[in-house]
Structure formats: C-alpha cells, structure tokens
Structure 1
Amino acid sequence: MASKLLTALLIAVMLLSTWDVFAQKDDWRYRNQVAVLMYHHVHDTDESSSTVSSALFREQLSDLKARGYHFISMQQFKAFYEGAPVPDNAVFVTFDDGYESFYLNAFPILKELDVPAVNFIVTKDLADPKATSIPSLSREEIREMLSYKPGMIDVGCHSDNLHFKAEDDKAALTNPMTGASGGSPESASAYNDRILADTKACVQKLDELYAGMPVKSAGDTYAYPFGIFTAASEKLVTEGGTRYAFTIVSEMATRGSSPLEIPRINAGNPSIKPEQLHKQIMLRVKRAGAAK
C-alpha cells in the first residue's frame, strides 16, 4: 500500500512538473508581434558598447531557439506589416553599419543556426570598403551572402553618405548642413534635395547588388543613422523609395507601429547575456500587451 501511495505521489509530482513547464511557456508566448533585434559588430578582439563576441552572439541566438523563439526573414517581416501571419514568438535579426565582421564572424553563425538576418549598409563604403575605420563589406562578400539560401540574408539602406554628424553634433539626415568654413546653413530646398538624392543613391546601389539574384532588392528598407529621424526626414526617405524604416526605439514591432518607425531591441551590447535578452523581450511583450 505504501509503495502504491509513493508511486502515485511520484506520478503526481511528475505531472505537476510537466504542467509547470507548459504553463511557463504559455506565460511568455506572444503572437502578432516581432522582437526586432539590433546588432552592429561581432568581433573577438575589438571592444565597444556595440561589439559582441562570436561566442556571445552564438549563445544568444542558440538560447532563443531553445526557448521556442522563431526567427523570420526580411520578406516575412515585410509581409507581416502587410497583414500576413508570422510564427508565435517571432524574432527578426538586424545589423547596422555594414561592417565586414558580419561576413567574417556573424554570417558563419547565422548559417550554422539557420537564422535569417539583414544588414543595413552605408552604400558609399562599397567604393573602398577597407578605407573605413572598421573595414566594411565588399560587393563580392555581399553578393555571396545574398546568393546563399536566397532570402536568408538581405542588405538594406543605412543611407548612402549621411552616417555622420556635423561639428555641432547635428545628424546629417535631420539637419541642414553648413559649409566646411561655416556660414549659413543650407536652404530648406537644398536640404530636401540632398536627403532625397542620398536615399535614391542608396536604393540604386542596392538594386545593383541584387541584380540577377532570385530575391527582390531590400532597397525599400532603411535604418536611420544613429536612430535619429524627424517627420521631414521620414517624408524624404519615403519619396526616395523607402517603405520600411527602423529606429532604435526599444519596443516590440506590431502592426500598430508605423512602418516608418519600426522599433528594435538592442541585443548587441557585450553585457547582454542570453537570459537577460529573453527577459528584455518579455518586458516589452508585456508593455505591448498593456498598451492595447
């Protein structure tokens, strides 16, 4: 009798434990939202607040996969904004700046784990990718990645030549510039022409990179340099061909988010361990739910 009671208790404990596991999963499951993650530089010797090691990058993505997150591509993300469904617990990986470390260090891990991603590049750097302070992606490297499992890796605009700030710390995208010797700022029409021309140049260069590829160009996607934007700059990049623009506002992306103000969660800081990244996403899921 005692042994039967003990067996029954053990079975009950096992059932409760199993229920707890499923309850915990259900507690954090989300639908019709996307956690858009932002990275910059994956490198094993460089150090900065926006540089993660290859090991940490792999650990973050592996941990999210083990927890039941589902990674989506640029095409799936854009379709989501048009009303298409995405998997529960959807995650979209984005990179800014177009560093060569994406090809050398991040791309092998993305292939290993079968995780799609997009890198928003500064297209003027294509002319001389080794001349930048941190080496940039070359055309050949980009086209190799675009051709691997078409649609898995994409590149988007991070401007053609607007990723800088003037001496007064004003972003080139959102402010009239002055000449090298100072003087009056450019006129409103000159500012408009500059931003429009820059955006069109970025889109054209991306179209050239995608030429002959089986997937459509991602030239209609844009990440604002430094995450800084205004209503005027939104309008101008839209006129230049942008349909989806990404910010650094740290929230979940929902269909209620403006497609020109898509939020992203920073995952590219070396202090963000896998458990912390999961918690950051969950906090923003709760915020999004509370805002409904």
Structure 2
Amino acid sequence: MIVIIGISLLLFSLNLFKTNIVYKDQIAVLMYHHIYDQDISSSTITTKLFRDQLTLLKNKGYQFISLQQMKEFLDGAPIPKKAVLVTFDDGYESFYNNAYPILKEMSIPAVNFIITGSLEHPQQDIPKKMSREQIKAMLSDSSLIEVQCHTDSLHFKNPLGKAMLVGHLSADGKPETDEQYKHRIVSDTQSCISKLNPLNPAPVDTLAYPYGIYNHEAVDDIQEAGIKYAFTILTKMTTRQADHLRIPRINAGSPDITPAILEKSILRSIIPIK
C-alpha cells in the first residue's frame, strides 16, 4: 500500500513538469501589490510583465473567476477547470492607472484589498493610494472589479516589530488587555467595512491579513466584526475544504516571476484530489 501511494505521488510530481495539466475543483488565487514601470521592489512588477503573465495564462486555457464565484465554490457550487482568481493588496493608485485598464481590456475580474485609513489623504501615501472618487469611477465603469478590506488602520507594526493585527499595544507602560485588544480589532474591522460599503456594490465581508500575519484571536475578532472570508499568503491552491478565514494565495507580483515561472508555481501548488 505504501509503495502504491509513493508511486502515485512520484507520478503526480513528474506530471508537474508538463504545462498542459488540467486541474479542477480548486483555485489558484494570485496575489499582486504594485504595477508600476518606474519603481523597483520585491512587490512591484511592470505593466508589461503583468500583461504577459495574464496573456500566457489565458492562452493556456486558465479561466479567470470573480471573488463571488470563489465564495460560491466554497459553499458547494461548481467552478471552471483551471480556475484563477486575481487579488491585489493595499489599494495603490497604480491599480487604477495601470492594472485596471489591462484587466478591463482582457475581461479579467479582480479584487483589491483597501487600507481604508488612507482614503482621507490617498495622495500623501508612498506609493500613492486610490481615492474614493477613483474607486467609484472604476466600479461604476465595470462590474469586473470589487474592493474589500485590508483593515482601516492596522497595516503597521508596533514598536516591537509585531503586526498591529496580532501585537498588543502599550500605553503609559501598561500592556493592552485582552479586552482592549479585542475591541481595537473589532472596531477597526467594522470601520473598514463601513467605509467600503458605500463604494462596493457587493457585500463587504472579505479581508486580506496585513503582511499575511494573523492569530486565532485576530481570526475570531474579524469574524465577530462581520468578515466571512480572509486571505493569507500561504502558498497553496484553494480547495472546497479550505478554511474560509485562512484562504491561501500564490504570489505573482514579484519582478522575477516570469509568466513561465508563475505557471510552474501554480502547477506545483496543485492538490491531488481523489
């Protein structure tokens, strides 16, 4: 029995060297941040690379789905074979200027996770963020795009270097109590939801964890605040059995990820389903 299982896994691994594999009942959720031709960083790619990645996947028969289709899939609905969901973090203005025109041209749905605390003065951030007006214009122009939560004001780290979503704060030398921590997380999440509700036609019930960092308390607290789905940075495919509050994603937004490398990352992440 062990030998049979070992041979099966070996054959599956060898098949990953082929690029014509058709997977089903799972989703490759791609993660991007900044699409810009002048900046250089580990989370910034050029408009050409972004277009080339999407073009290769389209030409290879990958099917781009919406966030709503993913939610329905997790609840039991079917999805196309070779399903892909495009996600963006941080709400950069480069999404509006550079990514959105390409997505619209190619009829590819996407979701952008917005740090709503930046909506008041989006041009003061570096890189600049999208304004309410830009988000409204984009969402009224096309049903392909939606916005969801990336917290209101928790996309920072405390003085000890811990992500604000999981790190307790200190005031006057006294650490934050569990009750104070819970109130801060719930209130921040509710604030994010309330700011996006007037902008997003679909329900605002989804969050991407800042830095991909979370703990059990944070998961419970955002759920209490109204979040039903949350994305991590764990590199895996999303199956129907995925935890709705710990959905994995595959990084596609680094400058060294060529179209071919991105496809290999997807193929390596495929989960054998009986």
Q: Which of 120, 135, 141 is equivalent to 2:134? A: 141
Superposed CA offset, 1:137-176 (max 9, x none): 10011111212232x1010100000000012111100121
Match of 1:59 in 2: 52
**Counterpart of 2:6?**
none
Q: C-alpha distance in 2, partners of 1:99/1:165?
A: 19
Kindly provide the CA deviation profile for residues 16-70 of structure 1, in whole angstroms up to 9, marking residues without a partner as x. xxxxxxxx67x51011100000000000000100000000000000000000000
Report the 3-state secondary structure (helix = DSSP H, G, I; strand = E; otherwise coil) of the residue aligned with 1:94: strand
1:72 matches 2:65? yes
Pairing 1:5-16 to 2, within 5 Å after superposition: none
Structure with the largest fraction of helix: 1
CA distance in structure 2 between the partners assigned to 1:42 and 1:176 by the alignment: 33
5+ residue gaps in structure 1? Answer: 1-23
User: In the alignment, which residue of structure 2 is the partner of 1:240?
Assistant: 225
Per the alignment, residue 122 of structure 1 pairs with 115
More off after superposition, 117-126 vs 201-210: 201-210
C-alpha distance in 1 between matches for 2:43 and 2:142? 28
Q: Does 1:83 align with 2:85?
A: no
1:29 corresponds to: 22
Amino acid of the structure 1 residue aligned with 2:77:
A
Aligned match of 1:112 in 102, 105, 110? 105
Calculate the aligned-residue CA RMSD, in Å: 1.2
Asked if structure 1 preserves the Cα contact closer than 8 Å seen for 2:104 and 2:142, the reply is no
Partner of 2:162: 170
Structure 1: how far apart are the matches of 2:87 and 2:247? 12
The answer to whether the Cα contact below 8 Å between 2:74 and 2:242 also exists between their aligned partners in 1 is no
2:195 to 192, 205, 216: 205
Instruction: Work out the CA distance in 2 between the residues paired with 1:86 and 1:143.
Output: 29
Q: Which residue does the alignment assign to 2:186?
A: 196
Measured after TM superposition, the shift of residue 226 of structure 1 is: 0.4
The reply to whether residue 46 of structure 1 matches residue 39 of structure 2 is yes
Bigger relative CO (Cα 8 Å, ≥ 6 apart): 2
Letter in 2 for 1:216: A
Secondary structure at the counterpart of residue 255 of structure 2: coil
Pairwise CA distance, 1:209: 1.4
- What secondary structure sits across from 1:166 in the alignment? coil
1:272 aligns with 2:264: no
Q: How far does residue 82 in structure 1 lie from its aligned partner after superposition?
A: 1.1
Q: Deviations over 1:243-286 (max 9, x none)?
A: 0000000000011110000000000000000011111100111x
AA aligned opposite 2:66:
S
Identity of aligned residues (%): 49
Return the letter of the residue paired with 2:88.
Answer: F
| Structure 1 CA distance for aligned equivalents of residues 263 and 141 of structure 2 | 29
Distance 1:252 1:145 in 2: 29
Tell me the residue number matched to 2:12.
Answer: none
Structure 2 SS opposite 1:28? coil
Query: Partner of 1:86: helix, strand, or coil?
Result: coil
The answer to whether structure 1 residue 158 and structure 2 residue 150 are counterparts is: yes
Please identify, of 62-71 and 76-85, the stretch whose mean Cα deviation from structure 2 is larger: 76-85
Instruction: Output one character per residue of 1:110-148: Cα deviation in whole Å (capped at 9) or x when no partner.
Output: 011111100001001001101112100100111112122
Runs (4 or more) in structure 1 with deviation over 6 Å come to none
1:177 deviation in Å? 0.7
Find out whether 1:228 has 2:242 as its counterpart.
Answer: no
- Partner residue in 2 for 1:186: 176
Equivalences, count: 257
For structure 2, the 5+ residue unaligned runs are: 1-17
Higher-Rg structure is 1
